A and B are shown apart, each in its own frame.
Chain A
Amino acid sequence: MEYFGEQLVNGIIVGGVYALIALGYTLIYGVLQFLNLAHGELYMMGAFFGFFAMVAVGGPSAAVVPTWLMIIIMFLVAMGGGAGLGVAVERFAYRPLRKSRRLAALISALGVSLFLQSAALLLFGARVRLYDTGQFINLRSGFSIGSIRIDITEIMVVVGSLLLMAILWFLVNRTQLGRSMRAVAVDQDAAVMNGIDVDRVITITFALASGLAGAAGVMSGLLLFPVDQYMGIFAGLKGFTAAVVGGIGSIPGAMLGGFIIGIVEAMATGYLNPTYADFIAFLILVLVLLIRPTGILGKKNLAKV
């Protein structure tokens, strides 16, 4: 039971990271009906940006600013950098293709993916980076439920991801910007006629989605995931799975999906062979696509032809 609890906690924490990535997919898919295959690469870039922000303020052991400020700076840099990159990718790789075949945009996304991976390799080198969280956060602090220990970074990651999701939900459902996003999602032409600047809305959507991916990158770094240029592939695929499980296009669905994938994967790692844990997400994806392609919270899409 104790072991089960530990795995559950691990799953929820990793699930928070997956949920943030899934939100990005969902947001972009919801507005553009386009799968950004390069989303995982933005997460990878975010993790690198966070790492270099940490190095810039003095590194894990000798920071010139207090720890809380350093963590905030890391998040801000990663989210800002991720958002900027995401907007640039949209502007130069996807916007020219908005009216052409879907195949073209997907292939372009594939190119973006390879370009960002090799650019990271060129700029940052092949060395695997570690955030070394233990140097600036006491991993012994935190609290325990029974014998299950939850340290402060883990709390921070879960609370942070929930907070970001809440902000996003508020933005989409309660603000004027969110209204225009939903309007563009329903019908771009009609949105233009109602005075909505579609390009601007799409740019903001990409900025939000990529900013969340950047934040997810820093979180995974703080959780001591190794940071290298290949980290984005599987994270992106699992985030996508989470988005599909929850129902692509639905924000609560993406959160739910993220936590489900995280927990199931942690259980698989704990009770089955850890090397095959990656498989679980794939199996879930195939099963969901076969049984209920709209996901748990997704609405049935009625296509009128």
Chain B
Amino acid sequence: MSENQTGNQPETAGESGRGIGTDEWVAQHEQRLNQASGPFAALGQRWLQLPRGIQWLVPLTIALLIPFLTSNDYILRIGVNLGLFLMLVVGLNLTVGYAGLLDLGFVAFYGFGAYMYAFVASPQFGIHWPTWLAIPMVIAVTALFGLALGTPSRRLSGDYLAIATLFFGQMFLVLAVSSDAVQFPWMQEPVDVTGGANGITNVDPFSFFGFTFSSMTSYYFLLLGLIVIGVFATLRIHNSRHGLAWRAMGEDALAAQHMTIPPVRMKLLAFTVGAAVAGLAGSVFASVQLGVFPSTFKLPLLIMLYAALILGGLGSVPGLVIGAIIMVVLPEVLRFPDYSNWLFFIVLIVAVVTTLKSWKIITAVFVSTLAVGFAANGIFLALGVPYLTTPEWTEGPLAPILGAWVFMPEDRLLYGNIAFVLLVVAIAWMTTRTRRTRLIALPFVLWLAVFTWEVRLLLEPSVTRQLLIGALLIVLMAARPQGLFGKPRVEVL
């Protein structure tokens, strides 16, 4: 028994103001959760009172204005990436968020769509179908492909399905990389199907009846349109017959079956529709990139998609938009050492301030963190560890403070790796202790985090990104499985 996830489900709300099958305690629990406090509470309440249409209009207007405010191709590029990502999240949400099918091969559909489009619209086979023909073909073929993969899922429960689809996704990757010399029995020479690791280049851009999508701006608007359709469709599905059936099945397949929901058909439908959306996203991707490269479809993309979905709260539509924005924009910020440094300290300070709450304790923690840093400097100096001076490793506005406070050993790899292992151990250890011990340990751990970040993690932005996403999934699942914007499940047994 669980609450609904958007908190807006008028057709099930009874006279007493609570949904059917929701008892008094649960209803009150939701009310308690709604009583937010803090400086933003009033603003948040006001926002929630606005009609749904207006709530959606605000982000849409911002999105529409961006291309007119900036002609910076890089920002538009991020917008396009966000659009593609959001399409994938919308598709994945149907399969995972609603139907509860853990599809870990989802990225393969994306890749499949991209390759299918490249096959019919590139010099690879010398075929150049018009876009209006190519896109429906790609969508149809990918959907069929999803149906084919979904077929074994009839019999599989959660975990089996997860690993079978994971295997499938990895298989797709191997196939894409190794099919550059396929020997067909009826051909003399091996055929280069996928271009191997180099992929397929010179893919045709989209072009409808004479209008060719040549600039980033045009793709930006195309994707914006697709997403508006996608989000609107998801909102419509949410409380529709199929949406309710999917969600019921995701909660408890057996119970859903007893309510006359056909599980096999609904599962296959979820797979097929999810695959079709991914296929469409794939064809857009191929034409934006003007090429397809197998390295795009690796495991990290899948995990980022899941992270976005979960960050926002599974099955919650506004949540998935926000989750996608966080997952796409944050890594872009992390790309620049200066920004990522700022971001790191802001996140750290905000996290400390919001969790500790009492100003006295917060001040004490920050002061002792500073003290720990200077003490560590002293210890390193006393041990005679060779170090780098400030201009050698950092610059920008933070440099004077960081330079004085963080000890930068010459051997960044060694000390950074040791600090990283210690940091992971320390954080894990802290979760098992009482609040008192945690408070005492906090300054040391904070210093260790800063040290690890400055010494080691800043050197490897892409690895750090994956590391943080992995850690985020673990922490999120343990601390807040309903996501940032979802509501906790209340179970009454």
Q: What are the residues of chain A within 8 A of B431 when measuring CB–CB?
A: 92
Given A104-B481, A122-B420, A286-B152: A112 and B474 interface contact (C-beta under 8 Å): yes
Choose one: B100, B417, B420, B474; the contact of A111 (CB below 8 Å).
Answer: B474
Produce 1/0 per residue, B43-76, CB < 8 A to A: 0000000000000000000000000000000000
Q: Is residue B371 contacting chain A, with contact meaning CB distance below 8 A?
A: no
Task: Tell me how far the C-beta of A20 lies from the nearest C-beta in chain B, rounded to whole angstroms.
Answer: 18
Chain A neighbourhood of B463, CB < 8 A: 118, 121-122
B306 touches A107 (CB 8 A): yes
Residue B487 lies at the interface, judged by CB distance under 8 Å to chain A: no
Nearest A residue to B418, CB-CB: A123
Kindly provide the distance from the CB of A130 to the nearest chain B CB, expressed in whole angstroms: 21
Instruction: Answer whether residue A108 sits at the interface, using C-beta atoms and an 8 A cutoff.
Output: yes
Q: Does B428 contact A (CB under 8 A)?
A: yes
Tell me the chain B residues, 444-493 only, with Cβ under 8 Å from chain A: 456-457, 460, 463-464, 466-467, 469-474, 477-478, 481
**Given that A118-B467, A289-B156, A290-B155 are contacting pairs, would A106 and B102 also be in contact in the complex, using a CB cutoff of 8 Å?**
yes
Contact between chains at B159 and A34 (CB < 8 Å): yes
Cα of A148 to Cα of B469 in the assembled complex, Å: 49
In-complex Cβ contact of B254 among A116, A119, A289, A305 (8 A): A305
- Interface size for A (C-beta < 8 A) is 50
Decide if B299 touches A114 in the complex (CB within 8 Å): yes
Contact flags (1/0) for A211-248 with B, using CB distance below 8 Å? 00000000000000000000001100100110010000
The size of the chain B interface, using a CB distance under 8 A, is: 52
Q: Is A168 an interface residue (CB 8 A)?
A: no
Q: Say if the beta carbon of A93 comes within 8 Å of chain B.
A: yes
- Please name all residues of chain B whose beta carbon is closer than 8 Å to the beta carbon of A234 when the two chains form the complex: 170
A97 touches B481 (CB 8 A): yes
Please give the distance in Å from B156's CB to the nearest CB on chain A.
6
Does the CB pair A108–B478 fall under 8 Å? yes
Which one, A156-164, A182-190, A199-207, A277-285, is touching chain B?
Answer: A277-285
> Which residue of the partner chain, among B152, B170, B299, B471, contacts A115 with CB atoms under 8 Å?
B471
- A35 CB-CB contact with B under 8 Å: yes
B474 and A289: CB pair below 8 A? no
- Per the bound structure, the CA–CA distance linking A305 and B258 in Å amounts to 12
Interface residues of A in 256-284 (CB under 8 A from B): 273, 275-276, 278-279, 281-282
- The answer, yes or no, to whether A96 is at the interface (CB within 8 Å) is yes
Q: With a CB–CB cut-off of 8 A, which chain B residues contact A93?
A: 474, 477-478
B163 in the interface (beta carbon within 8 A): yes
Which residues of B have CB within 8 Å of A108?
473-474, 477-478
| Nearest Cβ on chain A to B324's Cβ, whole angstroms | 17
* Contact residues in A for B473 (Cβ distance below 8 Å): 107-108, 110-111, 114
Q: A88-B428, A122-B467, A289-B155 are in contact. Are A111 and B460 (CB under 8 A)?
A: no
Within 8 A of B (CB), among A86-111: 88, 91-93, 96-97, 100-108, 110-111
Closest to B479 in A: A96
Q: A106-B158, A111-B471 in contact; A123/B417 too (CB < 8 A)?
A: yes
- Residues of A within 8 Å of B178, CB to CB, are 275-276
- Chain B neighbourhood of A37, CB < 8 A: 162-163, 166
Does A180 count as interface, using CB distance less than 8 angstroms?
A: no
Q: Pick the contact of B167 from A104, A114, A122, A285 — CB < 8 Å? A: A285
A233-B170, A234-B170, A289-B164 given; A97·B254 CB < 8 A: no
Query: B160: CB under 8 A from chain A?
Result: yes
- In the complex where A35-B163, A111-B472, A123-B417 touch, is A282 in contact with B168 (Cβ < 8 A)? yes
Does A5 touch B at the CB level, under 8 Å? no
Q: For A153, what are the chain B residues with a Cβ–Cβ distance below 8 Å? A: none
Would you call B428 and A92 a contact (CB within 8 A)?
A: yes
Verify B470–A106 contact, CB threshold 8 A: no
Can you offer 25 A-B residue contacts whose CB atoms are under 8 A?
Answer: A35-B162, A91-B428, A92-B428, A101-B481, A104-B481, A108-B474, A111-B307, A111-B473, A112-B470, A113-B299, A113-B470, A114-B300, A114-B469, A115-B471, A118-B463, A118-B464, A118-B467, A121-B463, A122-B463, A122-B464, A123-B421, A282-B167, A282-B171, A289-B155, A290-B152
- Chain B residues with CB under 8 Å of chain A are 96, 100, 102, 104, 152, 155-156, 158-160, 162-164, 166-168, 170-171, 174-175, 178, 183, 254, 299-300, 303, 306-307, 310, 314, 417, 420-421, 424, 428, 431, 456-457, 460, 463-464, 466-467, 469-474, 477-478, 481
**Chain A interfacial positions (CB closer than 8 Å to B):** 34-35, 37, 88, 91-93, 96-97, 100-108, 110-119, 121-123, 233-234, 237, 240-241, 244, 273, 275-276, 278-279, 281-282, 285-286, 289-290, 293, 305
Additional pairs, 13, CB under 8 Å, beyond known A111-B474, A113-B299, A279-B171: A37-B163, A92-B478, A96-B477, A97-B481, A103-B102, A104-B481, A114-B300, A114-B473, A122-B456, A122-B463, A282-B167, A282-B168, A289-B152
